[in-house]
Amino acid sequence: MKKYSISISITIVILVFLFLIFENTLKGKKVASFIKGVATDVVSKPNNIDTKGDSIATRVLVPDGYKRIQYKPGSFQEYLRHYKLKPYGSKIINYDNSEYFAQHWHEAILEVHVPSNGLQQCADALMRIRSEYLWDQNKKDEIGFNFTSGHYCSWEAYATGFRPKISGNKVTFLKTATSNHTKANFYKYLNLIYMYAGTLSMYHELQKISVSDIQIGDMLVKPGSPGHIEIIVDAIINDKGDRMYLLAQGNTPAQSVCLLKNFEDTTISPWYTFDKNQPVDTPSYYFDEARFIRFK
């Protein structure tokens, strides 16, 4: 008994030490999630992970009694479900190539390039994934987003040479560049979107979805400046109609897009359940309400 008591005491000391280190940089629920996450890693490991899996669908196992909800081949839902992952154990890397301080929040790192300019933050990463899907599906005419001012900026207009002239909340588009439909110019367009669009503009622009109707590709959002946004990347169902979901996020500072663990219910982690009007506590952010939006 004495041996176990010593081990427990050491664990408590470690947790308190970590809390003291990060208490000045983490606030509110974020502190609780950090400490909870460390404790979770000390006590147990999730059993819903295949470390050899190289995509979301092969990395995360389906719990007994559930099956993956089917979507059409070529759909955005299937695109996300089969998104490629970095090898298991890969770290969250910031845009400046430094390591993020919390490396215990995730079960996977998505193969999303993080530019060194620091612009690709939480909402931006999701707009990039959506835009790359549309590009790959040859639906380039559907790529476009509203600025926070409400003005729509499409890839097609940008590719033909139109650029925004911004003065306060007033935006006009003038043809000031030659036509350029290359992939390199496409990423310059996305950098522009990252600068003038974000969580708040997405919330106002996109369709609101009730919890009962959510699907892969829908986004859990707290609108604001700053706010936060995370995206559903897989969905499963059992015979009783109960559903569970996986969440992925970009973050601020701009960093690797990661698949999140569930510290609130480690028995199903990394799967999540959502209830109408109820909060959602994820490792890096506390959402006071389960609000979802959907890309056009």
Q: How confident is the model over 238-255, as pLDDT tens digits?
A: 999 999 999 999 999 999
pLDDT of residue 168: 81
Q: How confident is the model over 134-192, as pLDDT tens digits?
A: 999 999 999 999 999 999 999 999 999 999 998 888 899 999 999 999 999 999 999 99
Q: Where are the alpha helices (DSSP H) in the chain?
A: 2-22, 28-43, 56-59, 76-81, 122-136, 155-159, 183-196, 199-205
The pTM score is: 0.86
Looking at residues 222-236, what average pLDDT do you find? 94
Considering only CA atoms, give the Rg of the chain: 20
Contact call for residues 264 and 290 (beta carbons, < 8 A): no
Nearest alpha carbon to residue 231 among 76, 89, 111, 90: 76
Q: Where does the pLDDT of residue 29 fall: very low under 50, low under 70, confident under 90, or very high at 90 and above?
A: very low
Q: Where does the pLDDT of residue 6 fall: very low under 50, low under 70, confident under 90, or very high at 90 and above?
A: very low
Residue holding tokens 């690709």? 120
Q: State yes or no: pLDDT of 7 exceeds 60.
A: no
Q: How confident is the model over 31-79, as pLDDT tens digits?
A: 445 545 544 554 345 589 999 999 999 999 999 999 999 999 999 999 9
pLDDT of residue 45: 55
C-alpha distances (whole Å) from 107 to each of 74, 151, 193, 231 are 25, 37, 29, 15
Looking at residues 246-265, what average pLDDT do you find? 97
